[in-house]
A and B are shown apart, each in its own frame.
Chain A
Amino acid sequence: MSLYLSIAIIVLIFVVIFQIAKASEYVSILKGEEASRKQNNKINGFLMIVFLVLGFLGVYVCNEYLYGKTLLAQGAASVQGEKVDQMLWITLTITGIVFVVTQVLLFWFAYKYQENENRKAFFFAHSTKLELIWTAIPAITLTVLVIFGLRNWFFFTGEPPKGAMVVEVTGKQFGWIFRYPGHDNIFGKKYYKNIDPATNSVGIIWDDKYAQDDILTEQTMYVVKGQPVKLIIGSRDVVHDVGLSHFRLKMDAVPGIPTTMWFTPKYTTKEMREKTGNPNFAYEISCDQMCGNGHYSMKGIIEVVDQEEYDLWLAKQKPQYFTAFPEKDPTAAPVVTDSTATAKK
């Protein structure tokens, strides 16, 4: 009912606007083309300046409301992120100046040079000097941005410092699997045809000698504050993307082609909760590449903790091998004796 009513209202508004527009057309025919053009020029010229002023006011208001919600206001949580933020500021300053100057000129010229019978348009077809100036200035400015950008780019995509922690991240529809290499610090080999969703979610080859101490976790990854961490990223079905907005990085997870990314977290999750004043703060991993109908819910968490807490957490983790083959688990001795007992019966 309310739907029909609102449709009726919209139609009514359309009819009214349309009739007014029609009427104004008849009026302008009566007044003559010249006169009505003059009037339209005046109105629209004035609106150009109004738009310019209200536009900048709008930009200011928008910034007041929304700046606090951006990550720039929050500050970066990684060394890489700080460099990204710094570059954001530089780029914002440069493009901001260009934005203001060009928009002001555009709307100001439009207003100032609206048709006036006392003035003749200035026949000005070209000027090599001017054109050279505005080829050279953007070119130089952009060179600066490129140099800044590439220095950071090579830093981000370069090798992490020695001694970095390594974690393997695997995307799947719709969640994240993390693998830690265990005591030997080397990942066991894997092959996708070995995948068993229940016990071997990334397809580890158990015969590999490096495989048996590998630790698998889902949804939450633990890393240490201040220690560089390198992610080896893959996917077991479609293309996903490890989006780490707080660390200002992201990298696609592509099936069959591993990618890498590294960063150094600067604050623990707890510290960030204090810093942002949000008790629910979490370093969320968002999937940033369309991966199917559950894309929007593909969330992971990174817990940044200090070394001590990390060691405690790690000590509690059981190699996946023992989940896959519970009978080989030395710590689960009673289970083993039980099963042999039943077997003997």
Chain B
Amino acid sequence: MSHEATLHGHDSHGHDDHGHHEHHDTFLTKYVFSQDHKMIAKQFLITGMVWAVLGGLMSVLFRLQLGYPDASFPWLESILGKWAKGGQITPEAYYALVTTHGTVLVFFVLTAGLSGTFANFLIPLQVGARDMASPFMNMLSYWFFLAASVVMLSSMFVETGPFSGGWTAYPPLSALGDASPGSKTGMDLWIIAMALFVVSSLLGGLNYIATILNMRTKGMSMTRLPLTIWALFFTAVLGVLSFPVLLSGFILLIFDRNFGTSFYLSDIFVNGVGALSNEGGSAILYQHLFWFLGHPEVYIILLPAMGMVSEIMSINSRKPIFGYMAMLGSLFAIAVLAFLVWAHHMFVTGLNPFLGSIFVLLTLLIAVPSAIKVFNWLTTLWRGNIRFTPAMLFAIGFVSLFISGGLTGIWLGNAALDIHLHDTYFVIAHFHIVMGVASMFGMFAGVYHWFPKMYGRYLNNSLGYIHFWVTMAGAYLIFWPMHYEGLAGMPRRYFDFSIWESFKQFAELNRFISTVSMIVFAVQILFLINFFYSIFKGRKVTTQNPWEANTLEWTTPINPGHGNWPGEIPEVHRWAYDYGKDGKDFIPQDVPVGADESSSH
């Protein structure tokens, strides 16, 4: 496959920007069954955006219930039918919304939408390759993702409702249709969708690893790779090693659900059904298998954002990223530790306390590489010459959120505090800030920064600034007060707090949070308008290198064709971060080292 792509690139040498191929691209081969990594990236991005809108809308709907538990909205019944009888969301519908919101945002938006988009788009362009190692597998990766999306979407429309047991899908609740209507057909579809998703991410991940290791251009040694590529590399490794474990957990769950096995089931008496025959299984086994993926998954979501933020921050500070090797080392440390901390999600499952203590130690250890990254980003800003592009703003926002959410990780990673805060709103605040919103910011930064490369046009700057400031303020207004709710012990996943003497005091605050969440959601619509409008009508890019950056993607034509470079692939002579060196504003990677150049970096 790669040979074909390489040949195409050579053939088109000397032709115009669009890289003519011998065969003509039809609409179908160019936009639908494309094997061009850039088009596949856009497919991932737009599918991810559709899911982000749906997932976001779901959160607005369940925030409506939390903020206005007594009000009824007749229009809800017109959209949701029996799930909102009389204009009030039912508990079933609430839990289905919460569950789907979690699943969709974690997997479909922040894994497929983020890694899928930027790994596909940036890896060949930044390592200097004409395409992925296997463009066909790459195409399959997208189509498996789309299949997963279709199945997940279809689960919204079954009679018994979509799965409603939380995105973590703990059995026995997820295994027993009699314990919850959502665990009937909805759960079967959920598992099928997730299995297809795992296949998609494995096909993608193997491809990313192969491309990074084997297809770097001449001179692009591993230590000259931009940090984006390193981050995407570790992300792919994490995914390839952990997703199969999740799949195995799901397969056992399928057996328990449909074939009468007892991997996760034991000693169960279901109301209205009676005692089940299953004995000897362990519900905790599933949690181990799930979190063995689940925790690396957090870093699968976070690392690409870190990589892009490092890159964007360095470019817009007009300074090298501070401590390239330390950044790389901390990425590596995080990737290794990601596999050794999963049980901190399980401190209160009755885990052996000694085992728990090991996981406390390893969990808090992650704070060290995280701290290194934060201090290095700060030092990158220090004495820079900062340009506030919308991408740069989102990168700075990412660091702020990563600090805020990361620090509460030190609270929750300590078992003696987790025993109090586990599954409260404190946890919601923590992971939404550090993983959800922060990674979303990384994604926005990436979209604003590489949009000109994707579509040959700019996004509207002013809309970008409005988008950033409202989202940034909104994110803090929504999630900061939730820490206090958590410190009052308020549990997650409650449909209604009015019967609780300990938690009903937050009614007013919940209304406030819900209102802000709607405003923030509306501003994301503004971003979507900006995005789709600018694809067709945005200001045209007129220079090859609009951000004056060093990496290879900016040596391609403004609208690169399949094969990326019309001529030879450029040779690389230096690392990606020679900004402000020897008095020069920037020196791209393909510029040979000058005779009088200082050697240090």
Contacts and interface: CB of A to CB of B under 8 A. Distances in A.
A51 interface: yes
Contacts of A67: 484
B244 interface: no
A316 to B, nearest CB: 25
Contacts of A62: 480-481, 484
B170 interface: yes
Chain A's interface size range is 35 or more
Contacts of A313: none
Given A119-B385, A237-B271, A293-B180, A17 B480 contact: no
B164 A299 contact: no
B581 A292 contact: no
B488 A145 contact: no
Interface in B358-402: 360-361, 364-365, 367-368, 371-372, 374-379, 381-388, 393, 396, 399-400
B408 interface: yes
A92 to B, nearest CB: 8
A115 B381 CA distance: 11
Nearest to A59: B480
Contacts of A245: 420, 424, 488-489, 502
B365 to A, nearest CB: 7
Interface string B455-492: 00000111101100100110011001100100111011
B416 A121 contact: no
A238 B600 contact: no
Given A106-B378, A153-B356, A114 B372 contact: no
A45 B374 CA distance: 20
B581 A84 contact: no
A248 interface: yes
Interface in A62-86: 62, 66-67, 69-72, 81, 83-84
Interface string A206-227: 0000000000000000000000
Chain B's interface size range is 35 or more
Interface string A235-258: 011110101011011111011111
Contacts of A127: 322-323
Contacts of B480: 58-59, 62
B460 A21 contact: yes
A28 B502 contact: no
B499 A297 contact: yes
B385 A120 contact: yes
Main secondary structure of the interface of A (DSSP, over half): helix
Given A69-B506, A131-B326, A288-B422, 14 more contacts: A43-B465, A91-B411, A95-B407, A109-B382, A113-B384, A123-B581, A131-B376, A139-B368, A142-B367, A239-B170, A248-B419, A252-B349, A286-B489, A290-B492
10 contacts: A20-B462, A40-B461, A69-B506, A135-B368, A145-B364, A150-B361, A153-B357, A153-B416, A237-B172, A245-B420
Interface of B: 75, 91-92, 95, 164-166, 168, 170-173, 176, 179-181, 265-271, 275, 279-284, 317-320, 322-326, 348-350, 353, 356-357, 360-361, 364-365, 367-368, 371-372, 374-379, 381-388, 393, 396, 399-400, 403-404, 407-408, 410-411, 414-417, 419-420, 422-424, 460-463, 465-466, 469, 472-473, 476-477, 480-481, 484, 487-489, 491-497, 499-503, 505-506, 509, 522, 525-526, 529-530, 533, 539, 577, 579-583, 600-601
